[in-house]
Amino acid sequence: MKIPRRVSFKRAFTLMELMVAMAITAIIVTVLVSITSTAVDTWNRSRAELRAARQAKVMVDTMAKDFESMVVRRGNSFEWLRATSPSKVPTSPKLTSTNSSDLIFFCAPTDRYNGAYVNSASSSSYLGDVSCVGYRSLYLDPLNSTVTPFQTFVLKRYLSSPSTYPASDTSLSSGNPHKSDDTFSKLLGTTDLGTAFSGYLSSLETNPATSADYVCENVFQFVVTFNVEVMHNTGGTSYSIVTVGVPVGQSIGQITTSFRVMGNTITTPFNPPSSCTPAELAAGRVASVDISLTIISDAGMDQLRSPRPLTTSQQAKFLAQNSFNYTKRVQVPSM
């Protein structure tokens, strides 16, 4: 007689348990992918913002040094500073700059004479410390205007040294973009600084190959606001000092298209607020300057170079995702 063997059954997962496990695994994977994607996006955004901040710092530091040594002499009819909104703002194939400024003024920068203060041939010092500096925003390749694949919004700075280099000094004559620019004989004492300096500003666009003129790239918007201290007559013989901000840019709202500092007055079509009259503004003094700029990230510039067009709504979304705004106030010497 045969005795039947006991058959043992190993317990397996049921279909319901497998479905629950797969659902939990899918949720965990989805959460991990979401966290990873958010972390990568945050890292890319932080990296782009850090890069933009560095570019902004280069610009504002350079301009701050020039404004901190700004030169204005009272008691004459000469022009010492001019800020205007250009008729042609920087424009890429897909995006037009929302605002831009052309800026020209006299100052005493430390990099005059291309950073050399002594004639290497005769060991004699160069003469003069007052230079003329100009700023302009453009859309082009920073180093070669004929190359289009690498065009970007750039800020150019052009410095005219105080006086012509001595003929005996040959150390800086070769390829020096500032050798023939003579602030003393050509620019100081003019009543129309814009016309006198127009040749230099035009050279920024027609001959931008000199790296000495390049400040930083991806500068989509560049606006300056002059804070003018005004002695306001509050009635009778009572006066108070008020500060009036005069922003220079495209003619939108309370923005003026030009601001000029002469030796005896401030000239601007800006309509001042009720805190002062146009005559009081004309007699005021510039106490500080606000430098405002918008930087587009490198990834954003790559998108602008791609063949895909941007609609108006897409442009607003593009700027919200790929641009960063910076502002700095610079105190200027007493006028």
Q: Is residue 153 part of a domain?
A: yes
Nearest to 261 by CA among 181, 334, 186, 330: 334
Q: What are phi and psi of 201, to 5 degrees?
A: -65, -35
Residue 22 located in a structural domain: no
236-270, pLDDT tens digit by residue? 778 888 899 999 987 666 788 899 999 999 999 99
Contact partners, residue 187, CB within 8 Å, separation at least 6 = 106, 132, 160, 193, 196, 197
Report the b/e string of 53-75 with b at 16+ CB within 10 A: eebbeebbebbbbbbebbbbeee
Q: Which residue has the tokens 């100081």?
A: 188
The pLDDT assigned to 165 comes to 53
* Structure confidence at residue 209 (pLDDT): 45
Look at residue 32 and tell me if it is in a domain. Answer: no
If one counts the domains in the chain, the total is 1
Per the structure, the complete domain to which residue 90 belongs is given by 40-331
**CA–CA distance, 269 with 121 (Å, rounded to integer):** 50
Q: Quick one: pLDDT at residue 149?
A: 72
Question: Where are any strands of DSSP class E within the chain?
Answer: 79-84, 102-107, 131-140, 152-160, 214-217, 219-235, 238-248, 258-262, 266-267, 285-296, 323-331
Mean pLDDT of the residues in the chain? 80
Kindly state whether residue 28 falls inside one of the protein's structural domains.
no
Cβ within 8 Å of residue 167, ≥6 positions away: none
12 within some domain? no
Looking at residue 180, its pLDDT comes to: 47
pLDDT score for 177: 44
Say what the pLDDT of residue 48 is. 75
Strand, helix or coil at 271? coil
In the chain, which stretches have pLDDT less than 50? 167, 169-180, 204-205, 208-211
- Cα Rg for the chain, rounded, in angstroms? 30
77 inside domain: yes
Half-sphere exposure of 216 (CA within 13 A, CB side): 24
The answer for 255, left when phi > 0, alpha when psi is -120 to 50, beta otherwise, is beta
pLDDT at 335: 66
Residue 194 lies in a domain: yes
Cα separation, 189 vs 165, in Å, equals 20
| Residue 66 counted as domain residue | yes
**Per-residue tokens: 148:** 């289009």
